[in-house]
Structure formats: structure tokens, C-alpha cells
Amino acid sequence: MIWLSIIVPSLNEAQHIIPVLTQLQSLRKRGVEVIVVDGGSTDGTPALAAPLTDRVLATPPGRARQMNAGAALATGVALLFLHADTRLPDDALRAVDYALNRHRWGRFDVRFNSRRPLLRLVARMMNLRSRLTGIATGDQAMFMTRAAFESVGGFPEQALMEDIELSRRLKKTGSPACLKNAVITSARRWEEHGTWRTIVLMWRLRWAYWRGAEPAQLAQHYNRPVRAARS
């Protein structure tokens, strides 16, 4: 029986997919299942991922859709959703096992792969906010029992804030395990578009979502800096 399945959604992650999957090989040797769900990459991500995973799936783009598809085919009793630019701590398996013996779901603390003091502060504030609110984000490598995931219907297939909405629903089943063990995630968006600009954008989007704004509308604002940078 597979105890844990790690599901990695990807879209044009050729730069990051090999490092993150290479790190997971020691867990695969211990019986952990690794599934990559690609949303239509044009940079060869699926081919790079294939030798380092148990399965590579292809779906239409959309992170929530991709993660739900991976969960549907996963065989693990527990599920962990890992972004393609995020690395787990060395003791992740032990930490998740310990947490899920006491909670139905949880997440890790997060750190950025940057030495910038402001980004260190941002990470500390993200972790503190998560502890106070019981809301996790995808950057924190959310994990849960399959039973908990299925009981809330999986990720809502919306354009943005699917992690926030899943946290809301999971909170109704119990409080999260907030692990101090930290995942290391890429600071690329923050550095490309400006730390302060990204902070303001994320708070505006989060506030608008709490006030009932449509995720599709918020996604347009979230993706706008990326389009502007590439034009």
C-alpha cells in the first residue's frame, strides 16, 4: 500500500522540474509515489519529468484542475501538493507522518531562495498569518489525508485562490498542522516584478477575494505583470 502520493502541477517548468524531482528520488525509494500533472507545457517539461516520476499526466491548464487530476489517479492514503519550484525539507516524510497522526491536514512553513531581508520578512509574515488564520497557500506544500481531501470535494476548479478556498473547507474538518519545518520556494515572481509591488498586489487580490470577487477576474490582475514583462 502506498502511504503518500506527491502531486506536482507543472506548466513550462523545464528550469525547475529536474531539481525538484531529483530531490524526491530518495522518497520514491521509500515507497512514496510521485506524479507530475502537466498543463500543456511547450518547453519539454513532461519529457524531462518522465524518468523521475511514477507517472506524468497531461491535462488542460489550470492548477486546481491539474492537482485534482493527479489526486484522482494517485494511490496514496495521504496526498501532498508540491509546486514545481518548491523543495521539501529533508525530514518531510517524518514530519508529514507525525502531523497526520494528529491532524487531517496541514502545511509547512515557507522560505524563499533569496537572501534579501525583505523577502525573509515576507516569509515570516506569511507563516505567522497562516498560523493565526488556519489558511494555507500552495507555496507551503499543503498535505492531507485522502479522506479529508475527498470529503471537501478536492480543489475548487477556479482560476485563482484555489488553495485559499480549499483551506477554508478543510478548516471545517479540523485545524491544520502548521509545521515549522520549512519548504524552500522560488522568489522569481517577487524579484521579477518587485517585492513591494508583489506584496501590494497579493494583499489587494486577497482582500478582494474575501469580499466576494470572482477568481477569474482576480486571475487577470494576477497574471498582468507577467504578460507585461514578456511583451
Which region holds residue 4: left if phi is over 0, alpha if psi is between -120 and 50, else beta?
beta
Measured CA distances, 59 to 36, 66, 115, 187 (Å):
11, 6, 36, 26
Q: Is residue 228 one of the residues assigned to a domain?
A: no
SS3 203: helix
Q: Is residue 65 one of the residues assigned to a domain?
A: yes
Q: Is residue 8 one of the residues assigned to a domain?
A: yes
Q: Is residue 123 one of the residues assigned to a domain?
A: yes
Q: Widest CA span of the chain, in angstroms?
A: 49
| CATH number of the domain that residue 112 is part of | 3.90.550.10
Q: Which domain holds residue 96?
A: 4-187
Q: Is residue 198 one of the residues assigned to a domain?
A: no
Q: CA-to-CA distance for 219 and 222, rounded, in angstroms?
A: 5
User: Within a 10 A sphere around the Cβ of 197, how many other Cβ atoms?
Assistant: 11
User: Is residue 96 within 8 Å of residue 80, measured between CB atoms?
Assistant: yes
* DSSP one-letter code for 75: -
* DSSP one-letter code for 176: P
pLDDT (tens place) for every residue of the chain, 231 residues total: 789 999 999 999 999 999 999 999 999 999 999 999 999 999 999 999 999 999 999 999 999 999 999 999 999 999 999 999 999 999 999 999 999 999 999 999 999 998 889 889 989 999 999 999 999 999 999 999 999 999 999 999 887 779 989 999 999 999 999 999 999 998 877 667 666 676 666 667 666 656 665 656 655 655 654 433 332
Q: Is residue 94 one of the residues assigned to a domain?
A: yes
Q: Is residue 227 one of the residues assigned to a domain?
A: no
Q: Is residue 81 one of the residues assigned to a domain?
A: yes
Say how many domains are in the chain. Answer: 1
User: Is residue 85 within 8 Å of residue 12, measured between CB atoms?
Assistant: no
